[in-house]
Amino acid sequence: MRTYNHIRVFLFHRIAENRENWAHPTGVKIFEKCLQYITGNFTVKTVEECLALQGSEIKGKGRPLAALTFDDGFRDNIKYALPLLEKYKCPASFYIVTDCIDSGLPTWQHLFQNLFHNTKKLRLDVSDAYFAGGINKTFADARERIAYGNKLLGQLYTSPGCGAVKVMEEVTRNFNDVPVPERMTMTWDELRQLSSAGYTIGSHTCSHPLLTQLQDAYIRKELVESAERIEKVCRKRPGTIAYPLGVTDNRVQVIAQECGYKYGLSVEQKFYNHSEHHSMAVPRVDVYAGHNWLKTYLRMTGDLEKVKRVLGR
């Protein structure tokens, strides 16, 4: 006899055919190899089913448990991931940002990065009214612009009072040569069909904020209103919250439980261990963008982190 103590929860975002420079998708062929590896080595169940089995005994050797999750509700999950999930008979959970489903646009963080990556302009001017001290910046090249965009995004994450929405509007005005992406998220009808087909639809909040930077009332609003919206459409209230950016702390976890969530999903490159991790902070292995199978495979097995430690990275 042995027990289910270790669970591998894998996280995907976009799945796409080509190497388009938009939110760094995992290639379709690589994704299929991921499914072949997972179904060949694990018993695949939903996150909720896996966690309900934690600590329970199984006869014989058995296979370890694994779960597949998708964040952000990208529409290519329907076009490319779903047929393969059905082919390999893989259950999966989709964690959606309800405001993004309404608008058809990805999260503001994805839109922000897209602007800095794809504009041809090398100058940014943001009013002092929206950001302390204002921004008046000229870049030597695209690489410098992208690096600055990443730095600025980090500041917006940790400075909730700075008006991230207004800064986003200013950046959009500056980089107006970048087209707005068309309908990149699933629709509510598609989510209803996914739910009816047996897939889990979970919450990734209303607007994808960094929850640890919000006041309690705003955290509750993000968690409760997203759950209510999903329940209204899918006829089932989500029991799991996937924290935006995978970031959480004890305060957020307590509030999530008070809001009715049974499980919470973070992002760490490690596997869930019943004796080490709390059910409101379940680590997920982010598979990231993948067009290189060896690197993807090492990430999924956990060996990539070992290699990094050996190399001092």
- Answer yes or no: do 285 and 268 share one domain: yes
**What are the distances in angstroms from CA 240 to CA 34, 206, 224, 233?**
24, 14, 12, 16
- Answer yes or no: do 205 and 299 share one domain: yes
- Is residue 179 assigned to a domain? no
Single-letter amino acid code for the residue at 310: V
- Answer yes or no: do 61 and 157 share one domain: no
Instruction: Read off the pTM.
Output: 0.92
Can you say how many angstroms the Cα of residue 97 is from the centroid of all Cα atoms in its chain?
A: 10
Measure the CA dihedral 34/66/45/219, to 10°. -100
- Answer yes or no: do 100 and 116 share one domain: no
> Residue 158: pLDDT above 80?
no
The number of domains in the chain is: 2
- Answer yes or no: do 190 and 146 share one domain: no
Single-letter amino acid code for the residue at 51: L
Domain boundary residue, one of 151, 174, 197: 174
pLDDT of 203-234, one tens digit each?
999 999 999 999 999 999 999 999 999 999 99
pLDDT of 34-67, one tens digit each?
999 999 999 999 999 999 987 666 555 678 899 9
- Answer yes or no: do 263 and 234 share one domain: yes
- Answer yes or no: do 98 and 228 share one domain: yes
Distance, in Å, from the CA atom of 204 to the CA atom of 222, rounded to the nearest integer, reads 9
Please give the mean pLDDT across all residues of the chain: 89
- pLDDT at 87 (0 to 100): 98
Place of tokens 């598609």: 190
Cβ(7)–Cβ(271) under 8 Å?
yes
Q: Which residues contact 105 (CB under 8 A, 6 or more apart)?
A: 111, 180, 181, 184, 185
- Answer yes or no: do 152 and 214 share one domain: no
Two tokens, residue 304: 């990539």
Among residues 307, 91, 126, which one has the least CA distance to residue 198? 91
- What domain range is 300 assigned to? 2-105+184-311
Distance, in Å, from the CA atom of 285 to the CA atom of 266, rounded to the nearest integer, reads 9
Cβ(181)–Cβ(114) under 8 Å?
yes
Distance, in Å, from the CA atom of 234 to the CA atom of 191, rounded to the nearest integer, reads 7
Cβ(123)–Cβ(137) under 8 Å?
yes
Sign for the CA dihedral angle at 311, 154, 287, 2 comes to positive
Domain boundary residue, one of 129, 145, 174: 174
- Answer yes or no: do 129 and 42 share one domain: no
Two tokens, residue 29: 């062929």
pLDDT confidence tier of residue 1, bands split at 50, 70 and 90: very low
Calculate what percentage of the chain has a pLDDT beyond 70: 89
- Answer yes or no: do 236 and 141 share one domain: no
Domain boundary residue, one of 124, 156, 174: 174
- Is residue 50 assigned to a domain? yes
- pLDDT at 61 (0 to 100): 60
